[in-house]
Structure 1
Amino acid sequence: MRSMGGERVEEAAASCTGLLRTVTDQDWEGTKAGRLEWSCRRTAEHIASDLLVYAGQLAGRAQDAYVPLGLTLDEGTGNAGVLDVIEATGALLAAAVRTTPREVRAFHPYPFRSANREGFAAMGVAEVLLHTHDIAEGLGLAYEPPAELCEDVLNRIFPQVRPGPAAWPTLLWATGRGDLPGRAPVTQWRWHNTPVIPAERLTLEGVTPAAARDLFLGGDGGFEWVDGGPFQGTREASGMVVSAYEEGVYRPEWGLYILVRKEDGRAVGGMGFHGAPGGDGRAEVGYDLAPAARGQGYATEALRALAARALAGEEVRVLAAVVDGDNHASHGVVSRAGFRRVGAAGEDGAQVAYELRG
């Protein structure tokens, strides 16, 4: 799996400054940046400011709000100097991403109040690519960043966007900057960082489409697993995530979560939903654990946390689970988590249906 690390931030910054250094003699202040209301100059300064703020969030481990810092350029700084600042702040974010542990999350308001290092890297790359496009459009330049870099952004922070025939036009469409055949114009948009759900000994970490594809194809999804993990059920659930993403119906809060042990950062299993709740307010859950992690109460702990989060909202009224008749351990998990047996399930009745109502 291609990582979304510091090298991607540097790659994006280089694509920006490499192009814009060819036109530093033009009037950036008096030229509007594409469809934005900002000038090209203000947009370039905004790129640098975002990179700095994201680096500060990660480095400072901010949890409740943005770190109160801002970017001020020296009086008389020319266009070339602004590009120097973009390179410098890009390097700062790249360094913060490289030195931040995988499990650390810092504050970002939308939509789940935090992001990990890959999320901040992807947001930084998106800011650079999209606003370089805006500036280039204003100055009459052609700009097309590396296709893999655009795909990285879509896979990490646009999981709700159905992939298009090419990554760059899809990213432009998804952010209201272009058109795609057969799709309505986008007038409002947000990116989506992965959700997390805390439990006592575990953290339930939502997977991105990129991680899900890697897991489905036999990789580790970017997680360090205990022996025997990931188990087959997690790989199959990852395939469901990939299918939903490719169909444009994936909602990360109703997808797959990897159960990560707090004490050592190792993944012990997977748990999640078979899809978003239906109109009847019903959602089905599933899970599995690596053999080395079984018998320690992890599945019960995780299911309680997942169920509490789901039933606290307005979309879910009933959580369902289906357990093989002879899987005594799993019967114990759902029972301890508060589910009640409601009858037989499956074509041959060899499975047992459980429900938990809000």
Structure 2
Amino acid sequence: MSHLAPELTTERLRLRGYARDDFDWFDTTWQSEAVNRYIGGKPRTRAENWPRFLLNFGQWELFGYGYWLIEERKSGTRVGIAGLMHAMRDIAAIDAYPEAGWVLAETAAGKGYGTEAMRAILAWADATLDAPQTGCIIDPGNAASVNVAGKLGYRSTGMATYQDGEIETFARPRGGVPIAS
């Protein structure tokens, strides 16, 4: 079990650090076409997923924040990942701040888990980090994630080019007020 990420809990979820035995679930999730529809557009191979998995440990070590693995509290079922990272995407609107992100397994989509997990994470970030804001990027076609971002208090800051495509950038000031569900 990772000791770098603090455990967070919500009414329905447990957010915890990654452990080595989470990789098979992580790999299966990132090989899903539905999961990747708005994140790169194509499923990733096991060889591509291993460095992405390791990145989660390194973020915590280097920056004091990173991603959590999301589990349902009652069943212990892994349902997604969410957190903050320093991605160095060369996008001026977000590169100076922690970047928020959330990814849910196909079976967990549409249940409000992304919003619930990110509310806990942003409350932790507001209390713990010295960042004046957080940012995120979302494919403009991903209406579900745009909706989640709005509920979390993120507001659009415009469009940017990333990996030969256009993405929308968002910002949320520290202590930003989320919108009721």
Q: Is TM > 0.5 for Structure 1 vs Structure 2? A: yes
- The reply on whether 1:355 has 2:171 as its aligned counterpart is yes
**In structure 1, what residue type is equivalent to 2:173?**
R
Q: Which runs of 5+ in 2 are unaligned?
A: 89-94, 175-181
**Per the alignment, do residues 237 and 318 of structure 1 end up closer, same or farther by CA in structure 2, a change over 3 Å counting?**
farther
Which residue of 2 is the match for residue 301 of structure 1?
Answer: 116
Q: What is the total number of aligned residue pairs between the two structures?
A: 153
Q: What TM-score, normalized to structure 2? A: 0.69
**Structure 1 unaligned blocks of 5 or more:** 1-117, 119-155, 157-191
Q: Secondary structure at the match of 1:271?
A: strand
Structure-2 residue corresponding to 1:292: 107
**Equivalent residue for 1:239?**
51
- Aligned with residue 143 of structure 2, among 317, 328, 335: 328
- How do 1:1-40 and structure 2 match up within 5 A? none
Match of 2:25 in 1: 220
Q: CA deviation digits over 1:171-202, x for unaligned, max 9? A: xxxxxxxxxxxxxxxxxxxxx45421122211
> Equivalent of 2:69, from 254, 258, 282?
258
Q: Would you tell me which structure has more helix in proportion to its own residues?
A: 1
The range that moved more, 345-354 or 316-325, is 345-354
Equivalent positions of 1:101-112 (< 5 A) are none
Shift of 1:346: 2.3
Of structures 1 and 2, the one scoring higher in RCO (CA 8 A, sep 6+) is: 2
Once residues 170 and 133 of structure 2 are traced to their aligned partners in structure 1, the CA distance between those partners, rounded to angstroms, is: 10
Q: Does 1:197 align with 2:13?
A: no
Distance 1:199 1:350, change over 3 A: same
Query: For 1:64-75, what aligned pairs fall within 5 Å after superposition?
Result: none
Q: Is it true that 1:282 corresponds to 2:94 in the alignment?
A: no
Look up the match of 1:99. Answer: none
Aligned to 1:169: none
Instruction: Give runs of aligned pairs for residues 147-186 of structure 1, distance below 5 A.
Output: 156=2
Q: 1: CA distance between counterparts of 2:64 and 2:156? A: 26
How far does residue 318 in structure 1 lie from its aligned partner after superposition?
1.1
Larger Rg: 1
Whole-angstrom distance in 2 between the partners of 1:303 and 1:346:
25
